């Protein structure tokens, strides 16, 4: 297969471990992977997540501001927001409210 799986795999692994009702940022995941400056790659990996057999809760992954920047890539327009709201997360205008409360830091919870 691909060697890059390693990098992507890590991203998917962390993303899948995001607890219910929690969200994280690309940078946080990237940091956990050891590539803080590769936050964009994390998002790119998510784009590839569609090709992955394992479903990745990309809707739980947002940018540092808690803005649903990636909702644009979802099936529907508000699908991502609906999923987050379904988990109890308040989302207004693609912006997660109480981000600090729902934020999940992989580097702290995970290791």
Residues that bind DNA (CB under 7 A): 2, 4, 7-8, 25-28, 30, 35, 37-44, 46-47, 49-50, 58-59, 61, 63-66, 69-74, 80
Minimum distance, C-beta of residue 88 to DNA, in the bound complex (Å):
19
What's the closest the beta carbon of residue 69 comes to DNA, in angstroms?
A: 3
DSSP string, 60-81: GEE-TT-B-GGGGGSSSSSHHH
* Minimum distance of DNA from residue 68's CB (angstroms): 8
Contact between 56 and 49 (Cβ < 8 Å): yes
Enumerate the H helices of the chain as residue ranges: 5-16, 26-33, 39-48, 79-86, 99-102, 106-109
Please say which residue, 21 or 73, places its beta carbon nearer to DNA: 73
């Amino acid at each position: 297969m691909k060697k890059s799986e390693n990098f992507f795999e890590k991203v998917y692994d962390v993303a899948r471990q995001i607890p219910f009702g929690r969200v994280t940022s690309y940078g946080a995941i990237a940091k956990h992977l050891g590539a803080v400056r590769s936050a964009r790659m994390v998002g790119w990996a998510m784009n590839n997540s569609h090709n992955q057999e394992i479903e990745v809760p990309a809707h739980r992954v947002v940018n540092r501001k808690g803005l649903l920047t990636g909702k644009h890539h979802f099936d529907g327009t508000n699908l991502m927001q609906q999923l987050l709201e379904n988990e109890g997360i308040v989302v207004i205008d693609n912006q997660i409210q109480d981000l600090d409360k729902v934020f999940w830091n992989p580097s702290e919870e995970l290791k």
